[in-house]
Amino acid sequence: MRNKMMRKVLITGGSRGIGKAIAERFEGAGYQVVTPSRQEMDLADVESINRYAEIHKDEYFDVIVNNAGINEVNLIENITDIELSNMMQINLIAPIMLLRAFTGKMKEHHYGRIINIASIWAVVSKDGRCVYSATKNGIHGVTATLSVELAPHNILVNTVCPGFTMTDLTKKNNSPESIAQIAKDIPIGRMAEPAEIAEVVFFLGNETNTYLTGQKIVVDGGFTGK
């Protein structure tokens, strides 16, 4: 493992919301943070991911956070082929491809931390979340398998499932009245702040975590426990 100032973390979807908060938390702790733009790596494009992996094949990322995701809400009979393909590609296939590309270097260095970001909709669900829930349950399947496969190499793998979070997108897509109504349904009485989710991810991704692996950690203010 490298000294603190040289540690490097790869974060997808790091330009806004929870991903941005995660990037800021690691950067504040002295990590070199890599958050590829869509121009550098388009997660919807297999060839783009492969090109990025080839260009960076010699890089060692101490931490990988698969955060990027999309959520198209539709009832089962209305799901389009494009929605199905895009959600599967971005939410599930792309993370697997990135881990395929970069876990080899983690093995060489006998150290790694991987955090896959899922959702409360990988724990409970509701109308219109068929494909999204499938991908987020799928990413925890990746976590569960790799936590066993990579443990002998001192690589710990966990899933974080955020609940309702007060991101800029949440504020844009919901009126204050709607946000207040959602908050009433959360036992703690409010949505999470992105920094609160980032703090959990940071713990799982740094050297303080020496034993926790293979877990689906729900950060939802008690929403799924009702």
Active site residue ranges: 132
Task: At 5, give phi and psi (nearest 5°).
Answer: -75, -10
Question: Phi and psi at residue 33, in whole multiples of 5°?
Answer: -105, 130
Task: Answer whether 46's CB lies under 8 Å from 97's CB.
Answer: yes
DSSP string, 61-101: -SEEEE---------GGG--HHHHHHHHIIIIIHHHHHHHH
The H-assigned helical ranges of the chain are 17-28, 46-55, 81-88, 94-109, 130-150, 168-173, 176-184, 194-205
Place of tokens 């909709």: 121
